[in-house]
Amino acid sequence: MIDHFGINCSDWTTSQDFYDKVLHVLGFSRQMDVGVSIGYGTGGKPTFWISDAGAGEASGPNREVHIAFTANSPEDVQAFFHTAVALGVEPLHEPRLWPEYHPGYYGAFVRDPDGNNVEAVFHGGGPA
């Protein structure tokens, strides 16, 4: 069900040090670092993300949470997106490939009714 999720951190340097150390003892490490966000996990797959709350849109007292749900196909990603938009939520990113994450990463993003960044992702590529 849950593919990955992320939180925002107000003290970026301290949070990096904290998560590097506590997740290391559990067998997890940095799998991806994009400057303002770091993904932790194993085997090349980041499952838990931390982001610098002071960077970009994430700053402010009501910082969003990011959660991504696993989709079984590109069509499921599209259905997720169109259903959410039909319910009146804000679209963030229409379904598309995100090669900067990894080849075959196909996802769509919306804001839920509370303003959180919610995604559906399929890791096997886009529609045929």
DSSP states of 43-76 as a string?
TTEEEEEEEETTSGGG-SSSPPPEEEEE-SSHHH
Distance between CA atoms of residues 41 and 15, nearest Å: 16
Maximal CA-CA distance, the chain: 44
Identify the structural domains of the chain with CATH numbers, from first to last: 8-56 (3.10.180.10), 64-128 (3.10.180.10)
- pLDDT, one tens digit for every residue, the chain (128 residues): 999 999 999 899 999 999 999 999 999 999 999 999 999 999 999 999 999 988 865 444 556 789 999 999 999 999 999 999 999 999 999 999 999 999 999 999 999 987 889 999 999 999 98
pTM here is 0.82
Q: What is the pLDDT of residue 36?
A: 92
